Each structure stands twice: as C-alpha cells, then as structure tokens.
Amino acid sequence: MLTIPTHIVPGDMAAKLLAIKAAGFQAIDLSLTDITQFDGTLADLSAMVSGADLKIASVGPLDAGVNPAQLAAKIALAKELGSDLLILDVADAACLPESLDPLGAVRIALRPARNAEDAVRDYVAKTAQASIGLGYNSFHALGDGSRPARLRDLDGATVFHVSLWDGPSLPMLPGQGTLNLGGFARVLARAGYVGPWSVGVEPQGRDTVLNAYRSLVTTLSDAAATEPLLRSATPDLPPKVPARGFEFIEFAVDGDGAKDLETTLTSMAFRRERRHLTKAVTLWRQGAVNIVINQEKAGHAGSAFAEHGSCVCDMGLRVHNAAETVERARALGTHDFSQAVGLGELSIPAIRGVGGSVIHFIDEQSDLHRVWDIEFEPVGTTQATPPAGLRRIDHVAQTMRYGEMQSWLLYYLSTFEMTKSPIVNVADPSGIVRSQAIETPEGDVRLNLNGAADAQTMAGSFVSGRPGAGVQHIAVQTDDIFETSSQLAEAGFARLHIPRNYYSDTQAAFDLDDARTAQLQAHNILYDEDEYGGYYQLYGQAIFDGFFFEIVQRKGRYAGYGARNAPVRLAAQSKVRAAVAS
C-alpha cells in the first residue's frame, strides 16, 4: 500500500484527497494538524476519505513524550476515524512511555530518531505486545551513513510503518538525495515487512504529490527488480527506458528567428538537407546532429512560439521501444502528447515535459526511424558545404527556476535509465546558479539541469517571464576542436571572446606549454582536465533569447562539463549582454 502524509499536500482536505487519489496513492497518513483544521465531525472526515477511495494508513505523528491522557485521546481518535495505526515519534530514549497498556483495535508504531533506535527496538522487544511495534523513517535510519544491512536481523512483523525519505543533510523525496533507499527497502522486505510504504518531505509546490508518487514508485520498482518480495508493493511498470541518443532538436521560430538560426547553423557548417512535404519545416544536418526549424503558426510549435518567442520546443530521443516509453511515463503521472497528424505523416509517441515542453520518441520497432524519408523530401540544389567535424550532440542544457529543478530531476530519473551527479554551485556575476548533470549509463544522452534563483543571472534572465523551463544551450561534439574551430572561423562563426587572463591561469593550473596555451587563446577555447582526461570548449555568441551553441571535445575518459570554466563563460556572456543592452 502506497501512502502519503496529508500535511505535505497543498489545499483543503477535499483538494488534498483529490490530488492524492489522482496521483495514484492508495492511502493517506492523516496528519493531526489536518484533523484539527477540518471543520466537521470525525465521521464526516472518515466518510470523505472513503468517498475518495482512499484508506487511512496511519494517524499522527504524535510526540511520544505526551502525557497518558493525551495519548489515550489520540488512540480514541484514530479508532473513531477507522484507522488501526497511530505513529509516535521518539526523539530520544527519555521520551518513551513508562508503559503502554494493551490497545485493542489500534496499534502504535514507535518511530525513532537515529540516536533513539536501539532504545526503541529494546522497548518493543521487552513490551512483547502485538499492538506495539516500530515505525521507520529512512532519513533517520540511514542519515548517519550507516548501511541498510545493519537491519537484516530485524523481525519485519514488528515493523508497522515505513517512510522513505532521502537525505542525508535535509529530508528529500526519494531519488533527490544519496541515501541507499533501494537497499533499505530490500532489507525490510526480506525481514518480513508487509506494511504501508510512505513518502514524505517538506511541501514542494503544486507538483509535490505527483513528484512524491513518481519518486516512491520508482524507488520501490527499482528495488523490486532484484527483490521479488517488493513486487506486490508497486504497480506494474515497463522497465526504465535506456535512451540511446538525441534524434533531433526542434526550434519554433518566426521568419526573423529562422534567419538568425539559419545564419548560425550555416556558420557551423550545417546543411539544409530536407523540407517537410506539407509544412514550413526544414531539417538541417551535420554528422548525427539533426536540427529541425519549424515556422508553423499552428500546432505545438506555433503555441510554443506564441508563448516563448523563438525557442527549442521539442526534443526527439532514440529509444528501444517508443510505445513502452510513453506507457511508463503515463503510469508515473506524465501526460502524453498528441496533435493532429496530416495525411502521410507519422504519429510519433510523445510526452509532456515538466514545463510544457515535448519529448518525442523514435525507435526501430516501426517506421518511426524513417520519419525523415517519409515526411520530408530533399531540398533542391544547395551550395556544397564541407562538414566541420561536428559528430553528435554531447549534451543539452535546460534552464529553469531553482524551485522546479527537483521536479525535472525526478521526471528524468523516474522515466529513463539515468544517473545524477552532485549539484555544482556556479558563480554568475549576478548570483549563484545550481547545476546538476544527469546522463544515461553509456553517456549517449547527457542533460545539464541549471536552476536559477536570481533573475539577474544569465540563467535567471533566460527563464524570466517564462512559465516553465527551456533549453538554453546545445553542446555538439567534435574529435578535433582546433580543426573544427579553424573551419568555423572561415565560415564566419561568431564565437564568445574569453579574457586573456583566463589563459595564464589555465596554463599554471594544468602545466600547459606556451604553444598549447597560445593555441587555446587564439581560438577562444576553454580547457579543463582531471585524472581521466581533458575537455575543450568553444562557445558561440547568444542568439534569440539568450540561446547559444557550444562545441566540445572530450579526450580520454573525461566525464565532466568544465565546471571550472563556467564562471568565466558566464562573465563573458554577461559582458556581451550588458554591451547590447546599452
């Protein structure tokens, strides 16, 4: 049974229950505060919960140090509500009641803070009453760095309630932190635990309930992959999707935006290869990079342009099975996306992103991978453009308000087979931008999520006035960045100027010789390295709404994104922005 504390859900009780049921939960942990604030009888409240097709998994939590009269009153309250479980939070051993009489229809789960766990377990064992057991909160159980295996000798029958909170520093939804929640769930299941699985954190805005459900189900279903005892705890889901690369990036533009973008792509040695049979849509290509320019005034692209101006409105990911990808996302609360399909066009499976963006899925199970041949035709004679060595999309950076960042993170981690890196704080001249990288195991799809808390930063300026997140830059990979840079210089590529002092600092940091340092400076290329390899970065000037391209080269097994260079790049971009504004 999957349950959620009512106090983290916004709205009055009716709105809370509606949202909880819609998200997919089967039960609630009814907060004492919500009970106090409910304007009606306990019978009315119980009927409202039943009417929403939900159960009351527990009532509480109550401080274990309350006097016996208060405890008796809450036990009676739980019984009248039809719940058989009251949770008592135990901050330390001194809070434990001297004795607990047999409680009849209501059980008590003593939920300890980490430093009280041993005392509570001893207390439950000595009491030896079937109605007195344990409640576990993973934030307290694992927050000190201990491993789930220490609980393997636990009698699961004595555990009445489990809450999965991530951490370790602050309580977070499962998947947002670094605690081993999967191992925690597996150990408890093997010990014999069969009770409710709850999730909790501080309220996170309008997406709190959906994020909570998505994170809880993903954690338990991932754990169930290696522990069959957990499979009954979660709905059947298709497995996580192994994304195999970016099939296309689509821009919604008007005539002016198309001119700016086409000028930039031409300077990067892209070629306009195909046009749509019936729509104002063209395909530009170099290597395995497909850029779609959509000037349609109707459909999703038209709506995206009307709302944001020229922008990235769509991404296409290559997956093994597009239909299963959408099925998993829908099961986790994501809305699928569809629009009218013209004669001869393919209906490509797609889902909505957190901020209203769209992701399409291309597979080889059907004709989807032939979309460029089916819906597009080759353009007429064009000027021969030699490629500049751009091979594939290295990563895509999505910028959002910091408050939305965790929603995006859970969206990707729950739908796709991806892992996350630690959050990096990047210094912008006008504030701090928080950046978190996520990627597939093979590195075929890499995303940078950039959270802006200050509207004056480059990232904050980009999302200012937007209702959601947006793609702010696309990094394209080359095997020889200096050769690529030389070709782009001949084609008129407008690059970002990097301050000369950066290069003396970089030379000292990595013991570069004078020739290599001069070469970097001549091309305005930034450099980073670690024990695994090196990383080169060349930035283009921003075009509409602050969007820009980046060209990168990875050497060896370097897996980062040049974090040391980000403040320098942001300062250089801020200088350009200020000059334009003046």
Which pLDDT tens digit goes with each residue over 50-76?
Answer: 999 999 999 999 998 888 889 989 999
The pLDDT-based confidence of 382 (bands split at 50, 70, 90) is low
pLDDT (average), residues 497-508: 96
Q: What is the pLDDT of residue 365?
A: 79
Quick check: bond before 196 cis, omega within 30? no
pLDDT (average), residues 76-104: 87
How far is Cα 289 from Cα 95, in angstroms, rounded to an integer? 63
How far is Cα 507 from Cα 462, in angstroms, rounded to an integer? 32
Given CATH 3.10.180.10, say whether it is the number of domain 390-581.
yes
pLDDT, tens digit, 9 for 90 and up, residues 117-168: 999 999 999 988 889 999 999 999 999 999 999 999 999 999 999 999 999 9
Residue 347 burial (C-beta neighbours within 10 Å; 0-12, 13-18, 19+): exposed
Does 201 have pLDDT greater than 80? no
Cα four-point dihedral sign 376, 382, 386, 389: negative
Does 430 have pLDDT greater than 70? no
pLDDT, tens digit, 9 for 90 and up, residues 167-187: 998 898 999 899 999 999 999
390-581 has the same fold as 245-378: yes
In the block, tokens 């809070």 appear at: 95
Report the C-alpha dihedral over residues 420, 426, 432, 437, rounded to 10 degrees.
Answer: -20
Does 463 have pLDDT greater than 70? no
In 432-491, where does DSSP find H-type helix? 458-463, 481-491
Share above pLDDT 90 across residues of the chain, in percent, rounded to a whole number: 69
* 498-517 b/e (C-beta count within 10 Å ≥ 16 → b): beeebbeebbeeeebeeeeb
Q: What is the pLDDT of residue 246?
A: 96
pLDDT, tens digit, 9 for 90 and up, residues 245-291: 999 999 999 999 999 999 999 999 999 999 999 999 999 999 999 99
Does 394 have pLDDT greater than 90? yes
Q: Which helix (H) or strand (E) segment is 414 a member of? A: helix 402-415
Higher pLDDT, 463 or 154: 154
Q: Which pair of tokens denotes residue 67?
A: 């006097």
The pLDDT-based confidence of 27 (bands split at 50, 70, 90) is very high
CA nearest 123: which of 134, 136, 115?
Answer: 134
Domain assignments of the chain as residue spans, ordered by start: 2-233, 245-378, 390-581
Q: What is the pLDDT of residue 105?
A: 84
Q: What is the pLDDT of residue 453?
A: 66
Q: Which pair of tokens denotes residue 13?
A: 């009780």
Given CATH 3.90.25.10, say whether it is the number of domain 2-233.
no
How far is Cα 318 from Cα 418, in angstroms, rounded to an integer? 14
Q: Please give the DSSP secondary-structure letter assigned to residue 129.
A: -
Least confident of 164-168, 237-241, 296-300, 379-383: 379-383
Which pairs count as long-range contacts for 332-339, CB under 8 Å and 24+ apart, including other chains? 332/213, 332/214, 332/217, 332/218, 332/237, 332/414, 332/415, 333/23, 333/24, 333/210, 333/213, 333/214, 334/411, 334/415, 337/300, 339/299, 339/300
How far is Cα 82 from Cα 44, in angstroms, rounded to an integer? 12
pLDDT, tens digit, 9 for 90 and up, residues 283-342: 999 999 999 999 999 989 999 899 888 999 999 999 988 989 999 999 898 888 888 777
Does 454 have pLDDT greater than 80? no
Q: What is the pLDDT of residue 347?
A: 86
Q: What is the pLDDT of residue 65?
A: 87
Q: What is the pLDDT of residue 118?
A: 93
Q: What are phi and psi of 96, to 5 degrees?
A: -65, 135
Q: Evaluate whether 58 touches 109 at the Cβ level (below 8 Å).
A: yes
Q: What is the pLDDT of residue 400?
A: 83
- On average, the pLDDT of the chain sits at 90
Q: Which pair of tokens denotes residue 316?
A: 């296409």
How far is Cα 86 from Cα 95, in angstroms, rounded to an integer? 16
Q: What is the pLDDT of residue 426?
A: 80
CA nearest 526: which of 473, 568, 576?
Answer: 568
pTM summary value: 0.87
How far is Cα 194 from Cα 174, in angstroms, rounded to an integer? 19
Higher pLDDT, 330 or 527: 527
Question: What CATH number matches the domain at 245-378, 1.10.3720.10, 3.10.180.10, 3.40.50.720, 3.20.190.10?
Answer: 3.10.180.10
Which of 11-25, 90-104, 297-311, 422-436 reaches the highest mean pLDDT? Answer: 11-25
Does 375 have pLDDT greater than 70? yes
Q: What is the pLDDT of residue 102?
A: 59
